[in-house]
């Protein structure tokens, strides 16, 4: 990271490349925020979370207790980010996912097919996105791909323009939720990530390779929703334990438990001071 900074100061590196590298580093270092708690207001499970897209400052939460709460995340960036969403996706209990153009009253644009048009032995699986109920949908930050999850314990990545199943293998993604599952994606990283509620944890995968990076642990009961704040690479999650947790990038890297030679936590190399006494001698 210090190499990136030096190259950027010298004008040798693209600032966008540096931004993506830093965003990626922060996502890899997410941990539970020990300095700030999100006020506990819901008296029952937290069903959904969302952050408004204009300033990224306000977060909405909805709970099983029928209460909607508005939080101020104190974002001081003041950078507007306007969106225009003409295409919407709909998943249902009949295992189908359809894409619609909200500007047109005609039929749906595409019905997603997990077999990409190839004939399946099971007639009932024709033109279906999953082999179970579809209870989670999320577009990537650029809108070019759509992620879906179903009760068949699978997550799939689709091409938004033609509805093709990209066949990325995420392995088994446990999903026993009987209601909608709100998951989220990163934005601005060199390799984008998806955050999926996985029991009482949150699983982090690379979107385009399907590799599982880590599991975020902090809730006591099942997690039903999470949302990503792209300005500072922060993640917020809501659970049936009535809590909303904030996850922030850590300045420190965890020490492997089997490493007996080191007992203290190690500072992330990006924040290490490279100065030494030999610098002055030379």
Domain presence at residue 183: yes
Give the model's confidence band at 76: pLDDT under 50 very low, under 70 low, under 90 confident, else very high.
very low
pLDDT digits (tens, 9 = 90+) for 6-18: 665 666 566 677 6
Q: Examine the pLDDT at 103 and tell me if it is beyond 80.
A: no
The highest-confidence range among 15-19, 70-74, 78-82, 222-226, by mean pLDDT, is 222-226
Question: Exposed, middle or buried, 204 (CB in 10 Å: 0-12/13-18/19+)?
Answer: buried
Domain count, the chain: 1
pTM of the model: 0.64
Residue 7, in any domain of the structure: no
Query: Is 189 inside any structural domain?
Result: yes
> How do beta strands 110-111 and 58-63 pair?
unpaired
Confidence of residue 265 (pLDDT cuts 50, 70, 90): very low
The domain of 235 spans 12-271
Per-residue pLDDT band for 126 (boundaries 50, 70, 90) equals: confident
Assess if residue 3 is contained within a domain. Answer: no
Residue 280 forms part of a structural domain? no
Domain assignment present for residue 281? The answer is no
Q: What percent of the chain has pLDDT over 70?
A: 71
Lowest mean pLDDT among 44-48, 104-108, 228-232, 260-264: 260-264
CA dist., res. 161 & res. 165, Å (int): 11
- Residue in this structure with the two tokens 């030096």, named with its chain if needed: 6
Residue 116 sits in a domain of what CATH number? Answer: 2.130.10.10
What's the average model confidence in pLDDT over 39-56? 80
> 280 vs 59, 276, 277, CA distance in Å?
50, 8, 6
Instruction: List own/partner pairs for 111-116 with CB under 8 A and 24 or more apart.
Output: 111/163, 112/146, 112/148, 112/158, 112/163, 112/165, 113/163, 113/165, 114/156, 114/165, 115/165, 116/164, 116/165
Q: 22: phi > 0 → left, psi -120 to 50 → alpha, else beta; which?
A: alpha
Q: Is residue 5 part of a domain?
A: no
The per-residue pLDDT of the chain, averaged, comes to 77
Taking only the tens place, the pLDDT of each residue in 211-264 is 999 999 999 999 999 999 888 788 999 999 999 999 988 765 544 445 444 444
Which ranges of the chain does DSSP label H, i.e. alpha helix? 2-9, 15-28, 277-281
In a domain, 211, yes or no: yes
Contacts of 124 (CB under 8 A, 6+ apart): none
Alpha-carbon dihedral of residues 88, 92, 94, 96, nearest 10 degrees? Answer: 30
């Amino acid at each position: 990271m210090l190499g990136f900074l030096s190259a950027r100061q010298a004008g040798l590196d693209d600032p966008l490349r540096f931004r993506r590298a830093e965003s990626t580093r922060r996502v890899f270092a997410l941990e539970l925020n020990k300095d700030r708690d999100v006020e506990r207001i819901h008296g029952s499970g937290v069903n959904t979370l969302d952050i408004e897209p204009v300033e990224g400052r306000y977060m909405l939460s909805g709970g099983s207790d029928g209460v909607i709460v508005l939080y101020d995340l104190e974002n001081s960036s003041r950078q507007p980010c306007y969106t225009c969403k003409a295409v919407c996706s709909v998943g249902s209990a009949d295992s189908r996912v359809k894409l619609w153009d909200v500007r047109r009253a005609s039929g749906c644009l595409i019905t997603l097919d997990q077999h990409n048009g190839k004939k399946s032995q099971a007639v009932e699986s024709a033109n279906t996105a999953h082999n179970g109920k579809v209870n989670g949908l999320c577009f990537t930050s650029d809108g070019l791909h759509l992620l879906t999850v179903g009760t068949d314990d699978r997550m799939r990545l689709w091409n938004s323009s033609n509805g093709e199943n990209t066949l990325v293998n995420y392995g088994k993604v446990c999903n026993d939720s009987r209601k909608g599952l709100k998951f989220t994606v990163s934005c601005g990283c060199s390799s984008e990530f998806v955050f999926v509620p996985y029991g009482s944890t949150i699983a982090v995968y690379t979107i385009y390779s399907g590799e599982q990076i880590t599991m975020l642990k902090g809730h006591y009961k099942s997690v039903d929703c999470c949302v990503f704040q792209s300005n500072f690479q922060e993640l917020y999650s809501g659970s049936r334990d009535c809590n909303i947790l904030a996850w922030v990038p850590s300045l420190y890297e965890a020490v492997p438990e089997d490493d007996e030679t080191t007992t203290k936590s190690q500072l992330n190399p990006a924040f290490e001071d490279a100065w030494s006494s030999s610098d002055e001698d030379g």
